[in-house]
Chains A and B, each alone.
Chain A
Amino acid sequence: MRQPLRAAAVAARYLGAAALLGVGIDHLEQYSTEHYSAIPTIGTLFAMNFVSATLIAAALAAPVQRLPGRAGRIALPLLSAGGIGVAAGSFAGLLLSESTGLFGFMEVGYRPAIVLSIGLEATTIALLSVHLALRRPHGPRAEHTRAGSRAYAQHS
């Protein structure tokens, strides 16, 4: 049972990173192709969304758990939480711009790029939350504990 859950945690991590990257690319496309770059504040937020989503997704895909010491233990939880934050923030901003307006900007309708963005944001939040829930602690102490548990199980 443990091995499938561990595999699910790993899959959720990488698929969540891919979905987060998709969120960023979707915003970049709107920023550059659909002229959101010219909209005050909103354009800047779209650019920041792409940069932050790309950086976090790249870090999630990298073997950050191998970083030495405490950094290696907290990197993945922090990155996952950051990815969830970016996706949730994008989602909240979109809902505001569709309803009351955000920084004076109103979205008109739910065109395919917006529906795609909502889907990717929901997927990112779901997958990275699953990863956070299932992940095992890393680091020497955790490895030692797991090795000890396996040895105990084999000899008992």
Chain B
Amino acid sequence: MKIRRLLAVILPLAAVALVAVVVAACGGSSSGTAGGGSAYGTATLTPKTTTGTVSTRQTTLGRLLVDANGRTLYLFEKDKDATSSCTGACASIWPPLTAGTAKAGTGVTAAGLATTKRSDGKKEITYAGHPLYTYAGDQKPGDVTGQGLDQFGAEWYVLAPDGHKIDNG
């Protein structure tokens, strides 16, 4: 009787564990989303899709670069030679702005835009040689809560339209 009860519990759990392993294995080869990032507002749980358009927006830190959804874009001071050094947990907290091509929006110079290949093979948009990221801590367009944070080995800054970091601190 006990053994039957035990099997009744173990067999479904083994199936669940198998599904978990398969999900993890599949996710390891095809993880992430284009643009990644967090959605604004709480009306939906689904993050908005991100195109490769970079434009500018006026914020409390001045006019700075934002993505197609108005999310503030940041540079990572650890990045060298337009190559991203943000992977793993860093890429979850600071989702790279990934897209096939980069498009210049309002206030942005098209010549400053380019892409760099990430370690996972995706193309990340760069501006003035800086790979661009959003910040999961920003909740709505215009938020700049990632400004000046020292995370994952270096500091993060918003970018002015000329491609230089804005450092008011």
Least distance between B44 CB and chain A CB atoms (Å): 8
A121 and chain B: residue at smallest CB distance:
B20
Query: In the complex, are the beta carbons of B9 and A35 less than 8 A apart?
Result: no
Are A130 and B10 interface neighbours, CB within 8 A?
A: yes
Given A98-B27, A106-B38, A106-B95, residue A126 in contact with residue B10 (CB < 8 A): yes
Within 8 A of A (CB), among B31-61: 31-33, 36-42, 45-47
**Interface SS of A by simple majority:** helix
B83 at the binding interface (Cβ < 8 Å) = no
Distance between B114 CB and nearest chain A CB, rounded to angstroms: 22
Q: How far is the CA of A96 from the CA of B39 in the complex (A)?
A: 14
* Complex alpha-carbon distance, A145 and B13, angstroms: 32
Tell me the nearest residue of chain A to B39, going by C-beta.
A104
Is B42 in contact with A108, judged by CB distance below 8 angstroms? no
How many residues from B make CB contacts under 8 Å with A? 44
Closest to A126 in B: B13
Stretch of B73-81, B84-92, B124-132, B160-168 contacting A (4+ beta carbons < 8 Å): B84-92
A36 contacts B91, CB within 8 Å? no
The answer to whether B82 has its CB under 8 Å from any CB of chain A is no
Given A38, A100, A102, A126, which contacts B137 in the complex, CB threshold below 8 Å? A38
A28 to chain B, nearest CB (A): 14
Contacts of A39 in B (CB 8 A): 93, 136-137
Q: Is the CB of A98 within 8 A of B40?
A: no
Report yes or no: B152 in contact with A35, Cβ–Cβ below 8 A: yes
